[in-house]
């Protein structure tokens, strides 16, 4: 596992223990090159999920991407990291058990909002406001292109 701080690939496992009621293994790792410490989680992946965007585009479901958006919403909120991981795993498990491997991005957003609303109101509002903004444009690409300045007219 590559060190996220210095990129060294020879990191060491210092400690392994079950986490999230034995659905994951939590490993404490350290990097002999820079002394950095980080944690990884090992989990069962039941099915390969595909996210279907509003415009019909498909991409592989990425747990880390989902986790990142949830952690951003929960930034500086008094929620235990283990509880957050547990919530993320719960969301993934729900998605995996939906019967179809193709999941509309809307469905994921709704499930995340529902889960956040139960754990922390502030995080829920944060996530919902970002999510709703994305809903108003048809797609993330449109959102990004709206941020980009229009091509400048040449000096005349
Ligand atoms: Zn390192």
Q: How much distance in Å is there from the Cα of 132 to the middle of ligand 1?
A: 38
Domain assignment present for 20: yes
Asked whether residue 38 falls in the same domain as residue 77, the answer is no
Domain assignment present for 150: no
Positions of the chain with pLDDT lower than 50, given as ranges: 137-141, 143-144, 146-147, 150-152, 156
- pLDDT, residue 135, reads 59
Domain assignment present for 145: no
CA atoms within 13 A on the CB side of 154: 1
Q: How much distance in Å is there from the Cα of 89 to the middle of ligand 1?
A: 28
Q: Name the residue range of residue 35's domain.
A: 10-44
- pLDDT, residue 21, reads 76
- DSSP category for residue 156: -
Beta strands in 20-112 (DSSP E): 24-30, 37-43, 50-52, 58-60, 102-104
Tokens of 127: 């996530």
Domain assignment present for 115: yes
User: Tokens 């079950």 identify what position?
Assistant: 18
Q: How much distance in Å is there from the Cα of 66 to the middle of ligand 1?
A: 25
- pLDDT, residue 28, reads 96
Report pTM: 0.62
Q: Quick one: how far is CA 17 from the chain centroid?
A: 23
Q: What's the rounded Cα separation, in Å, for the pair 62 and 48?
A: 10
> Closest by alpha carbon to 129, among 73, 68, 74?
73
Asked whether residue 68 falls in the same domain as residue 21, the answer is no
- pLDDT, residue 82, reads 86
How many domains are there within the chain?
Answer: 2
């Amino acid at each position: 596992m590559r060190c996220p701080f210095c990129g060294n690939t020879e990191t060491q496992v210092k400690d392994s223990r079950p986490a999230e009621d034995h659905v994951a293994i939590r490993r404490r790792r350290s990097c002999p090159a820079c002394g950095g410490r980080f944690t990884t989680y090992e989990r069962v992946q039941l099915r390969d999920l595909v996210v279907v965007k509003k415009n019909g585009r498909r991409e592989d479901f990425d747990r880390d991407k989902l986790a990142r958006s949830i952690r951003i919403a929960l930034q500086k909120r008094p929620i235990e990291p283990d509880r957050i991981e547990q919530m993320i795993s719960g969301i993934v498990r729900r998605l995996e058990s939906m019967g179809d491997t193709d999941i509309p991005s809307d469905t994921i957003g709704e499930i995340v909002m529902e889960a956040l609303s139960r754990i922390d109101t502030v995080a829920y509002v944060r996530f919902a406001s970002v999510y709703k903004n994305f809903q108003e444009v048809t797609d993330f690409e449109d959102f990004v292109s709206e941020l980009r300045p229009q091509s400048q007219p040449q000096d005349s």
